[in-house]
Structure 1
Amino acid sequence: MNDFFNIPELRALVCDRLDRKSAYAFALTRRAFREEGLNRVWRSIDTFEPLFSYLPGDLLVETSVPVMSTRLPRAVMCLRRPLVREDLQKYLDYAKEIQEVKIDIYHCKRLPATDLMHALELATGGEAGALSPNLKCFKAMPGVPFKTDLLKSLAPLTPLFVGNNLERLGVMLRAKLEIHTAIALSTFHFAPQLKALTFSEKSELPLITQYMGSSSWENLQSFSAPTCPSISLLASLPQLRSLRLTNVQVSDIPIEAPSQGEGVHESQNLGFQSIQEMEIQAETFLILHEFIRRLPTSNMIRSLKLSTYNYASPEDIENIIANIRARGNPHTLVCLQVIDGVLDEATREGQIAVGEPDMMSEEPVDLWYHEDVDVLPTTYDFTNLEVLVLRFRERIRVTPEDLASIPETWPRLSRFEVTETGPRGQLPLIDHNDLLHFVERCPYLRVLGLPFDATRISGGERSSQGPFHLESLCVVGSPICSPYCVVEFILSNFPELKEMEIAFEDLANNYSDSMTVCRWARVRRDAVWRLR
């Protein structure tokens, strides 16, 4: 064991697997691990405490300040005497280990006062990255809607952390948060070297557009934002591998119509040459089609996640799946998700405010008839799928024959959800026996969502190949008679079940008098929650 302690690489490997608290405890209690433990602690910082702690004890004095919110820091650290370069030496010995800075004002107990920050600028000569020379990732402080001198004075400190080794940047750009935006915009000159850029959810399009215009972004590999100024801009980025947009409105981007006679199937390679992961949440399917159209025929995309706020018609569903089939790479795609009726943040908050009883209506007498949409076989071309999620208001046709063929088509399937986002009256075409046989032939399956007929479950059904390792089950749209029998069925076959989805996300789509939901709620209580 002593020989083990004498190998720095092994000590570092041990500390790399520890969280910050455990690494700090190791550093204090195991002399051999002191250096490696402290290096692990310093790798990521989210407050200014490391800076304060490693400055000389006679340099700073804590002063209370009035604040406009109880969540803001109530103290600042002021200079007691002039700061000189030598005062920073102890801090700088460890500062080279800092790889991530994600200062969160709401987590800070104390902030540096204005005089301390100006002194740091002078002592370091204003050198970019002087306080964290090997920094790889910088996440700007969350927007604080208070225009105080204290917060305003933090802006000059940002360049002292952000240096030439920066690769990942996360910022918020909002017009009313002038100081925060100024901090973010001060990182313009590091844009050419960035590999990952994230704009927070509340960032505004005009400022995103301004920021994106600051560079050609030739090295950018990952981009995440609420929306974007131009699909063409993103498609032109030569190294972009991961794209995530969470709230794209029709008014945000120009939709370029295909040239005469050109459809999605015939469109030329329009960009996204390196894309591997694409996640787009948009207002309409028209926007999704535009992104799919830009995929080159020679793409290497592995994950495609698409969702809209609007509900899809049967024609919308057929078109979007057909276009994905035409543009997706059948050999590399392992994850495909397409969902309609997603709630935006305002709608979700509004439903919470109104409350569940007032949002739901009684079940109508006539539920009408809706033809199932037969698009599942269209996805069989993607032979390496491990995740398939199709969630639409319209019901996707799933037959016992489909379930029988899928395990051979996708032998490594881990998540399979073909469910509904709104109520449908007709009975599912599969029952619990079909479901059980399907799970038997999918050894990697952990998440399953399918409407199935649970009315004939007796409780005594047990698979000879079970129990199985299913962790999540969506039963929305599944008729049920006896909660007691279904509980026995689940406990016998899916004892590791941790989650069960029983109702639509949009409260307005659930019936206030639905006995089906009440029965499934009893099943969830007795078969899932009691296992926790």
Structure 2
Amino acid sequence: MHISLLATEILLDIFTTINDDFRLSSRSRTTIAALARTCRAFKEPALDMLWKNIDGFEPLISCLPEGIVERTTKGRLTLTRPLSLDNWNVIGQYAHRIRSLTITSYQLNNIDDQVMQALVCPPSFALLPNLHCLEWWDERECFFPLLCTLLVPTFRSLKLGSASCEPWEPSCAKSSLLASIGAQCPSIQRFACAYSDDSHTMCEFVCSWQKLLHLSAGVLNTPSLHQLASLPSLKSLYFRTLNDFDDTQPNYTPTFSSQLDEVYITAPTPHFFAQRLRNVRFLSCQSAVLLAGDHDPEFIYDSREEIRELHNESLDIPSLMISFSECFSPDLEQIKFDFSFFIAHGGPPLVLGFGSVAPLLSFSRLTKLDLRWFSTSTIDDDALNKLGQSWPQLKEFYLGTAHRELISPSLTFIGLAHLIRHCRHLRTIAMSFCACSMDTNCEPFSNTIPSKKITRISVGVSPIVDPIAVASQLHMLLPNLTDVPTYIQSALPHPFEHIKDNWSMVAESLKVLVAGAKMDGPA
């Protein structure tokens, strides 16, 4: 054996690579288990990797000697007799290696009361003494003693949820559980738990966790946000806002002044943001995501009701953008509006003109802007020229390509040239524009330095005339561009029926042009 393989760190890197490279976890686990049996040098690091991430308690229980564990008539794991100290030592050989554990209702249903009672009362201080991450997807309070057994000082991440993915119903038992987490897990950094109503009670406990970095909560109103604004360590916050959001105190404005980097806000429909964002200030935030709709069944029902009410109304997009610009600091670097659920469930078009997007011009440090779910047919080349000048740091830009209405965009090749000219850091572009042959000696082509960073542009449903000429023009602006995917899934009516074939022709031509340029380049 090579001497380098005697180093545990190198072996762990090798075993980690094996685990990451195999798509099927069962295959990777089989390979690592075989390595553990190969030689003594491999055994310990291979076992550490094999037991690092575990689902359920069955793997631990299955390590016990034959005859101690059996199945009941209902298929549940049970114990034939109480565990001896030697039996616990067998479990301990593997339990101390576990760093991440996922528990679901299905897995809890597969163990009987005898197994649970044994796990609740291990002879040592903790069942899993080195556990870092726990996902617990069950709301039944009869299992809370087992959950509490798993709470150890090494904890870094905890997710609490239900089998149906619905928010937890508040109760005395859940409040007691939350109250105990801070003392038992003083180093906890990530916490996710959604309540079915406002999470004010949860926030009271969470605000005492001085090392908490990331919080994913349920519905938060103004007082709850005010509580969290006092938590000095918090870096990212995910929460929901509903139509009963507390806006009765207009002068009561929670302000996150110096620590929060990322905010992810969900509401039933886009128009709620215009009303709710005025109640809070995120002055240090660098990334913001607004999502309309959710996959929670209760939230989906509320969202659909709101969508039906708004179907024949025009949404006040300018108010939304104004509220957004007032809520966040000009230092914001990433903005994403994810309104896919709203559009997919019959919401009215979200038309975004230059006047609507103008409030976002103050965010001069933007590196990512995602406006793909808006209809941007009214934004023309002059508007995009001004946008590009205002956001010179852009690296990712998505504009209207997810919108499925077959409307010819006002943007043309000129707008694309403006964007490339002003945003020299761009690596990703997704936008619809009218692509046709034009004079490349005129402005802005003549003043635009080609960008070699971009290899792919998503063109949505972009009308196109003369694919060969378009490919040549694109190659002049983007000499390494080879991929121009569309978002066309089925046959389109006139005059859009040939778009997909024409853009496929552009892609093939670009590959030839790029290959030819490489052959003509320096050896």
CA RMSD of aligned residues (A): 4.8
Which amino acid counterpart does residue 32 of structure 1 have in structure 2? A
16-25 vs 113-122, greater mean Cα deviation: 16-25
The residue matched to 2:154 in structure 1 has which SS? coil
Q: Distance in 1 between matches of 2:47 and 2:163?
A: 37
- Matched with 1:277 is 262
Is 2:66 the counterpart of 1:57? yes
Q: CA deviation digits over 1:406-439, x for unaligned, max 9?
A: 6675455321123277688985443235425644
Matched ranges for 1:284-363 at <5 A:
284-291=270-277, 293-295=279-281, 299-308=283-292, 316-331=316-331, 333-338=332-337, 341-343=339-341, 348=344
CA contact (8 A) 2:337 2:370 kept: yes
Matched ranges for 1:101-120 at <5 A:
101-105=101-105, 111-120=110-119
Which amino acid counterpart does residue 317 of structure 1 have in structure 2? I
Normalised by the length of structure 1, the TM-score is 0.69
Which structure 1 residue ranges, 5 or more long, are not aligned? 66-74, 144-150, 260-266, 352-358, 361-366, 504-509
Give the superposition deviation at 1:92.
1.4
- Matched with 1:8 is 8
Matched ranges for 1:177-188 at <5 A:
187-188=177-178
CA contact (8 A) 1:480 1:516 kept: no
267-276 vs 88-97, greater mean Cα deviation: 267-276
Q: Distance in 2 between matches of 1:464 and 1:271?
A: 41
Q: Distance in 1 between matches of 2:384 and 2:281?
A: 30
Which amino acid counterpart does residue 486 of structure 2 have in structure 1? M
Give the superposition deviation at 1:101.
1.1
Q: Distance in 2 between matches of 1:425 and 1:498?
A: 18
Q: Distance in 1 between matches of 2:167 and 2:411?
A: 57
Counterparts in 2 of 1:433 and 1:229: CA distance versus 1, 3 Å: closer
Q: Distance in 1 between matches of 2:471 and 2:114?
A: 66
The residue matched to 2:355 in structure 1 has which SS? coil
Matched ranges for 1:12-411 at <5 A:
12-19=12-19, 21=29, 23-29=32-38, 31-65=40-74, 75-105=75-105, 111-124=110-123, 130-141=126-137, 154-172=143-161, 187-192=177-182, 193=186, 194-199=188-193, 204-205=196-197, 208=199, 211-212=202-203, 214=205, 216-219=207-210, 220-225=212-217, 227-237=218-228, 238=231, 239-245=233-239, 248-251=241-244, 253-259=245-251, 270-271=255-256, 273-282=258-267, 283-291=269-277, 293-295=279-281, 299-308=283-292, 316-331=316-331, 333-338=332-337, 341-343=339-341, 348=344, 372-376=353-357, 378-391=359-372, 393=374, 395=376, 398-400=379-381, 403=384, 410=391
Give the superposition deviation at 1:79.
1.4
Which amino acid counterpart does residue 189 of structure 2 have in structure 1? K
Is 2:501 the counterpart of 1:515? no
Which amino acid counterpart does residue 454 of structure 1 have in structure 2? A
The residue matched to 1:58 in structure 2 has which SS? coil
Q: Distance in 2 between matches of 1:133 and 1:426?
A: 60
The residue matched to 2:93 in structure 1 has which SS? helix
Give the superposition deviation at 1:276.
0.9
CA contact (8 A) 1:77 1:110 kept: no
109-118 vs 36-45, greater mean Cα deviation: 109-118
Q: CA deviation digits over 1:128-175, x for unaligned, max 9?
A: xx22112222111367xxxxxxx9875543223232333322122599
Q: Provide the aligned length of Structure 1 versus Structure 2.
A: 464
Normalised by the length of structure 2, the TM-score is 0.70
Give the superposition deviation at 1:214.
4.8
Which amino acid counterpart does residue 300 of structure 1 have in structure 2? S
- Matched with 2:297 is none
Matched ranges for 1:465-504 at <5 A:
465=450, 469-471=454-456, 473-476=458-461, 478-480=462-464, 497=483, 500-502=486-488
Which amino acid counterpart does residue 197 of structure 2 have in structure 1? L
CA contact (8 A) 1:47 1:103 kept: yes
Q: CA deviation digits over 1:434-465, x for unaligned, max 9?
A: 4256447756534323231125589xx9x995
The residue matched to 2:91 in structure 1 has which SS? helix
Give the superposition deviation at 1:481.
5.1
CA contact (8 A) 2:412 2:434 kept: yes
CA contact (8 A) 2:396 2:429 kept: yes
Counterparts in 2 of 1:399 and 1:132: CA distance versus 1, 3 Å: same
CA contact (8 A) 2:16 2:49 kept: yes
The residue matched to 1:374 in structure 2 has which SS? helix
Give the superposition deviation at 1:102.
1.0
CA contact (8 A) 1:450 1:475 kept: yes
Which amino acid counterpart does residue 413 of structure 1 have in structure 2? L
CA contact (8 A) 1:396 1:418 kept: no
Which amino acid counterpart does residue 333 of structure 2 have in structure 1? V
Q: Distance in 2 between matches of 1:456 and 1:158?
A: 66
Give the superposition deviation at 1:84.
2.1
CA contact (8 A) 1:166 1:190 kept: no
Q: CA deviation digits over 1:476-497, x for unaligned, max 9?
A: 5x43457798789889977654
Q: Percent identity?
A: 19
Give the superposition deviation at 1:330.
3.0
Q: Distance in 2 between matches of 1:177 and 1:451?
A: 38
Counterparts in 2 of 1:132 and 1:487: CA distance versus 1, 3 Å: farther
Which amino acid counterpart does residue 235 of structure 1 have in structure 2? H
The residue matched to 2:137 in structure 1 has which SS? coil
CA contact (8 A) 2:254 2:280 kept: yes
CA contact (8 A) 1:240 1:272 kept: no
494-503 vs 38-47, greater mean Cα deviation: 494-503
Q: Distance in 1 between matches of 2:168 and 2:365?
A: 48
CA contact (8 A) 1:223 1:243 kept: yes
